[in-house]
Structure 1
Amino acid sequence: MVTNIQTQLLGRDVSFPVEESRFAYWLVVLRLIVGWWFLHAGLDKFLAWPFDASWFVGGAAAQTSLGPIVTLFSDGILLSFTNIMVPLGQTLIGLGLIVGALTRLAAFFGAFLMTFFYFINGETGGWAHGVITGDLLGLLIFAMIATLGAGRVLGVDAYLAKTSFVRDHPRLRYLIG
């Protein structure tokens, strides 16, 4: 089935056809690949335990635009919290995307992490590889997954959306999809 998308872009009417089945398959493939990327990153950190994020949140990171935020996590209990939450977060984000559960929430936190990775890796490296990096592309992919509601296609979110609990609490729709 082909759907004709009609919208306005920069004050101009725009219309284009989208083949729904190809679009749906693409969302599933995208969700699975990004899910595996983050699941793998999180599990690698657990397998090489103990994970230490001090190299990332201290030192050169203090000189970046996010320095005032990340240096709060450079020692003590907040560093311990970061050392646990980064691998746990990456693992949970990956699992959420792979099974399509709480997809928008997972994509939000994926984008949150990618924002830190983008600015800290880019600014500490002097943008040696330019401003368009894999971290920025990851951030954009997470935004696309959240925006398009990729969990509703062959994911647990499709079932969650039909439950009476979600229907009774409509704000939960913003977490799933």
Structure 2
Amino acid sequence: MPANAQIEMLGNRMDFDYSRGVTGYVLVLTRLITGYWFLHAGLGKITGEPFSAAGYLANAPAASPLQGFFAWAAATPWLLDLTNVMIPWGEFLIGLGLIVGALVRLAAFFGGVLMVFFYLGNAEWGHGVVNGDLFGLMMFVIVGTLAAGRILGLDAIIEKMEFVRQRPALKYLLG
């Protein structure tokens, strides 16, 4: 199933079909690996010991630009309770969406939001600003930007449904 892209970089317009050849396979593999990573992390938190973000939030490094927000979140019971539900279930649902290729852009967006919080919250920049959290963020950017759900994913089927065709704005959540 063809998945064409059209981009303009530095004044040059390029058209390419990324569903054929190595690029498509690499993109699907990137989507699956990122999906497994988040599905596994979320499932471990859901089925394991009761998850609590309190320690992570309360002990954010002083170098973190989000330290004040995290301390406030840790001290606010309703926000901490919400965080304790949203992190495990969010990771699980993001991972599931990526693995089956459904609502990939939506999943990648929320995965990217989580990775921004993890990146800024961890503030592990002793060896520079490039770390695993930044690479995770880039994985979500790649998967979402290149609409990886259209290749061997349910988004290719969902986009053909009459409901979606009548509402073209929904395509921004798919792909």
SS at match of 1:74: helix
Displaced runs of 4 or more, over 6 A: 14-19
* Aligned mates of 2:114, 2:152 — CA distance in 1: 25
Q: Is the 8 Å Cα contact of residues 53 and 83 (structure 1) preserved in structure 2?
A: yes
1:41 maps to amino acid: A
Give the TM-score taking structure 2 as reference length: 0.87
* Alignment-derived partner of residue 168 in structure 1: 166
Higher helix share: 1
Name the stretch that deviates more: 40-49 or 65-74: 65-74
Q: In the TM superposition, what are the counterparts of 1:69-108 in structure 2 within 5 Å?
A: 69-75=69-75, 76-108=77-109
> Superposition RMSD on alpha carbons, in Å?
2.4
* Aligned mates of 2:155, 2:16 — CA distance in 1: 26
Describe the superposition over 1:107-164 as per-residue Cα deviations: whole angstroms up to 9, x where unpaired: 0011000001111112xx4x12321001001101100100000000010100000001
* Alignment-derived partner of residue 154 in structure 1: 152
1:56 maps to amino acid: Y
Describe the superposition over 1:7-26 as per-residue Cα deviations: whole angstroms up to 9, x where unpaired: 65334x47698773211111
Identify unmatched segments of 5+ residues in structure 1. none
SS at match of 1:114: helix
Q: In the TM superposition, what are the counterparts of 1:113-124 in structure 2 within 5 Å?
A: 113-122=114-123
Describe the superposition over 1:5-59 as per-residue Cα deviations: whole angstroms up to 9, x where unpaired: 8865334x47698773211111111111110000011111112231010122223
State, as a whole percentage, how many aligned pairs show the same letter: 49
Describe the superposition over 1:85-122 as per-residue Cα deviations: whole angstroms up to 9, x where unpaired: 10000000000000000000000011000001111112
Identify unmatched segments of 5+ residues in structure 2. none
Q: In the TM superposition, what are the counterparts of 1:136-147 in structure 2 within 5 Å?
A: 136-147=134-145
Give the TM-score taking structure 1 as reference length: 0.86
* Alignment-derived partner of residue 128 in structure 2: 130
SS at match of 2:60: helix
